[in-house]
Amino acid sequence: MSALVEPGPDDAQLDVLLRAATTVPDHGTLRPWRFVVISGDERDRFGAALASVALEHQADLPLAAVEKMRSKAFVAPTMVVIVASPVQGNKVPVWEQEASAACTGFALALAAHALGLGAMWKSAPFRSGGDLGELLELTDEEQILGWVNVGTAAPVVNQRAAEIRAARGDVAPADVASRLTDHGLEPVTPADA
C-alpha cells in the first residue's frame, strides 16, 4: 500500500502549492527553478524514464532494482518535480541558485501539510540523462533535485510519523546552534532563544 493515496491535490490546491513554492529566497530574483507536475497516467511515463535512466547509469542493474526505480512514480497520486534551472553568466553563483531551487521543494511540502495533504520529498541517485531529460525537457544546465509526492496521508503514514517524532525527541537549540561572541562560538542557551 502506498503511503500517500487518492485524492491528490485538486487544481486550486495545486495552485496554492506552486505559489508557495515560489516564495523562497531568490537572490537576484532569477527564479532558477521550474516545476513539472505529474499525475494520473503520466506516472507511467515518469516511471519508465526513471527505470531507463537507472539502466543508462548502471547497465547490469538487477531487474528488481529497475522495478523499484519504476515504482517510485506510483507512491502518490501527484508528484511535483523540482528542476534546478540556474541562470548562467550571472553574479549569483550556481550553488546559491540550486539552494534556492531546493528550498522550493520544502516550501511546497510545508504548504501541502498546511492544506491537510500529505507530502514527502523523494529523489533518485541521478538527476538528469536520457529519457528522463527528454521527458522533462531538461536543458544541459538543468537537473532534477527530486520531487515532492503529494496526496492524502494513509493512516499508516500518520502513525509512522508520530513514531519517528517520538524517537527523535525534541531538538534543543544548543545542540544545533551557536552564537558568535568575542570568545568564539558558544552554545545558544534557553535565555538566548
Residues 138 and 66 both lie in one domain: yes
pLDDT interval class at 1 (50, 70, 90): very low
pLDDT interval class at 2 (50, 70, 90): low
Q: Which DSSP category does 144 fall into?
A: E
Residues 52 and 30 both lie in one domain: yes
Residues 49 and 107 both lie in one domain: yes
Which residue spans within 87-183 are E strands per DSSP?
118-122, 143-153, 178-181
Residues 124 and 186 both lie in one domain: no
Residues 116 and 126 both lie in one domain: yes
Whether the predicted pLDDT of 129 surpasses 90? no
C-alpha to C-alpha distance for 56 and 66, rounded to whole angstroms: 11
Is the distance from CB of 80 to CB of 150 less than 8 angstroms?
yes
Residues 98 and 186 both lie in one domain: no
Residues 148 and 161 both lie in one domain: no
pLDDT in tens, 133-145: 999 999 999 999 9
CATH of the domain at 56: 3.40.109.10
Residues 171 and 144 both lie in one domain: no
Residue range 144-159: mean pLDDT, rounded: 85
C-alpha to C-alpha distance for 33 and 87, rounded to whole angstroms: 9
Whether the predicted pLDDT of 23 surpasses 90? yes
pLDDT in tens, 73-109: 999 999 999 999 999 988 999 999 999 999 999 999 9
- Indicate the number of domains in the chain: 2
Residues 72 and 162 both lie in one domain: no
Q: Give the mean pLDDT of the chain.
A: 89
pLDDT of the residue at 158: 62
pLDDT in tens, 30-67: 999 999 999 999 999 999 999 999 999 899 999 999 99
Whether the predicted pLDDT of 186 surpasses 60? yes
Residues 92 and 168 both lie in one domain: no
Boundaries of domain holding 44 = 4-153
Residues 123 and 186 both lie in one domain: no
Residues 163 and 143 both lie in one domain: no
Q: 24, 181, 160: which is closest to 96 by C-alpha? A: 24
Q: Give the pairing of strands 4-5 and 78-84.
A: unpaired
